């Protein structure tokens, strides 16, 4: 596959990445803990993604914990020059409490841990993962952001990103530093982050939806068995998964995909979404079935990943 087949490219700070990327979270064992069920296949999935042109991989030190980064290193190190590995850090145990004295240090250590397990000297970007997007950003958020800005100034990370945020977080952060990407829950059936996406588009910031196929469990099952999605897919000669992903690529040029999978078969299907072109009838059918009006407001932030 060439870059065009992966949906073209978009800027991720100083990097330019293909729009169809890969999220590595599921490569860990069940529940994102411990080693994978099939280590060989996990390594093959990573290598197949890069061989197909993927140059944007999302990860986190706490996937596994450490396991996913180690798999990425084993599969792909020494890394191709154009491969952007993006991670995230979060003070996971603090929920709305005043800034703890060592919290900025913990974020810094989180970045360093990623570099060690990935065997890298620099990450393309690191997202500050906010725990509760409904909590208004204040001095604690600023201090966390400042820790990432320092890491960027010191060359540990190429750019600063945000995750699980409201538009208010984005506006406040963008007033303090350049934000290169935002990673929020977003898919055709859950467009509550539409305001964040619009703000990102206006600012040329990459918007990277997580759960592009819906939240795990019942919500994903309902989306992927939706009759309208199935009808559109059949008409376009694609699968429902591909239409759900193609809808995202079609929606805005700054959307970058990172669907995750443990299998090469699903990887190929997901990357194939970049070759699916929605027509006006498909856009209309999907807009009727999944109205964006349901979307207003801040996302729940219920997925802790």
Ligand X SMILES: NC(=O)c1ccc[n+]([C@@H]2O[C@H](COP(=O)([O-])OP(=O)(O)OC[C@H]3O[C@@H](n4cnc5c(N)ncnc54)[C@H](OP(=O)(O)O)[C@@H]3O)[C@@H](O)[C@H]2O)c1
Query: Which residues are designated catalytic?
Result: 63
Residue of 211, 238, 251, 271 that binds ligand X (CB under 6 A): 211
Residue 88, interface with ligand X (CB under 6 A)? yes
**Site stretch for ligand X (CB under 6 A), options 5-13, 114-122, 154-162, 252-260:** 252-260
Residue of 210, 243, 271, 290 that binds ligand X (CB under 6 A): 210
Residue 262, interface with ligand X (CB under 6 A)? yes
Residue 18, interface with ligand X (CB under 6 A)? no
**Site stretch for ligand X (CB under 6 A), options 149-157, 170-178, 256-264, 278-286:** 256-264
Residue 65, interface with ligand X (CB under 6 A)? no
> Closest Cα partner for 56 from 91, 7, 92?
7
**Site stretch for ligand X (CB under 6 A), options 17-25, 72-80, 98-106, 197-205:** 17-25
Concatenated DSSP letters of 140-155: HHHHHHHHHHHHHHTT
The DSSP letter of residue 79 is: P
- For 125, residues 6+ apart whose C-beta sits below 8 A from its C-beta are 12, 13, 15, 84, 86, 157, 158, 159, 160, 161, 180, 181
- Specify the residue, 24 or 151, whose C-beta has the smaller distance to ligand X: 24
- Specify the residue, 39 or 284, whose C-beta has the smaller distance to ligand X: 39
Residue 163, interface with ligand X (CB under 6 A)? yes
Unique residue bearing structure tokens 């443990």: 262
Residue of 15, 46, 58, 151 that binds ligand X (CB under 6 A): 58
Give the x-and-dash track for 107-146 against ligand X (CB under 6 A).
----------------------x-----------------
Residue 305, interface with ligand X (CB under 6 A)? yes
Cβ-proximal residue to ligand X, closest one? 260
Shortest distance (Å) from residue 232 CB to ligand X: 16
Residue 266, interface with ligand X (CB under 6 A)? yes
| Residue 175 to residue 163: CA distance in whole angstroms | 17
| Residue 249 to residue 42: CA distance in whole angstroms | 26
Give me the phi and psi of 124, to 5 degrees please: -60, -40
Tokens standing for 290?
A: 């999944």
Shortest distance (Å) from residue 111 CB to ligand X: 15
Given a contact cutoff of 8 angstroms between Cβ atoms, the answer to whether 98 and 140 are in contact is: yes
Q: Which residues of 161-179 are buried (b: 16+ CB within 10 A; e: fewer)?
A: bbbbbbbbbbebbeeeeeb
Given a contact cutoff of 8 angstroms between Cβ atoms, the answer to whether 49 and 57 are in contact is: yes
| Residue 144 to residue 136: CA distance in whole angstroms | 14
Shortest distance (Å) from residue 68 CB to ligand X: 8
Residue of 9, 69, 117, 164 that binds ligand X (CB under 6 A): 164
What's the chain's Rg over C-alpha atoms? 18
Residue 269, interface with ligand X (CB under 6 A)? yes
Q: How many residues form the binding site for ligand X (CB under 6 A)?
A: 26
| Residue 33 to residue 25: CA distance in whole angstroms | 10
Residues that bind ligand X (CB under 6 A): 23-26, 58, 88, 129, 163-164, 183, 210-213, 241, 258-263, 266, 269-270, 303, 305
């Amino acid at each position: 596959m060439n870059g065009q087949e992966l949906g073209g490219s978009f800027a991720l700070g100083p990097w330019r990445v293909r729009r169809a990327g890969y999220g590595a979270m599921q490569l860990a064992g069940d529940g994102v803990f411990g080693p994978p069920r099939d280590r060989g296949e996990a390594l093959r999935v990573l290598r197949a993604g890069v061989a197909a042109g993927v140059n944007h991989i999302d990860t986190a030190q706490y996937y596994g914990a450490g396991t996913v980064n180690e798999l990425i290193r084993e599969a792909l190190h020494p890394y191709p020059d154009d491969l952007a590995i993006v991670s995230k850090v979060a003070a996971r145990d603090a929920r709305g409490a005043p800034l703890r004295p060592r919290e900025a240090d913990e974020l810094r250590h989180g970045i360093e841990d990623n570099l060690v397990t990935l065997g890298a000297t620099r990450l393309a970007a690191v997202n500050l993962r906010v725990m509760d997007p409904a909590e208004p950003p204040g001095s604690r958020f600023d201090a966390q952001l400042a820790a990432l800005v320092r890491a960027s100034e010191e060359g540990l990370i190429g750019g600063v990103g945000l995750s699980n945020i409201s538009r208010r977080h984005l506006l406040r952060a963008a007033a303090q530093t350049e934000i290169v990407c935002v990673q929020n829950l977003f898919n055709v059936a859950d467009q509550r982050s539409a305001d964040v996406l619009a703000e990102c588009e206006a600012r040329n910031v990459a918007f990277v939806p997580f759960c592009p196929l819906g939240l795990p469990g019942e919500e994903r099952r309902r989306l992927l068995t939706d009759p309208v999605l199935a009808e559109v897919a059949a008409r376009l000669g694609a699968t429902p998964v591909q239409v759900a992903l193609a809808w995202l690529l079609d929606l805005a040029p700054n959307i970058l995909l990172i669907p995750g999978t443990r299998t090469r078969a699903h990887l190929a299907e997901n990357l194939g979404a970049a070759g699916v072109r929605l027509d006006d009838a498909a856009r209309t059918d999907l807009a009727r079935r999944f109205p964006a009006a349901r979307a207003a407001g801040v996302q729940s932030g219920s997925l802790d990943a």
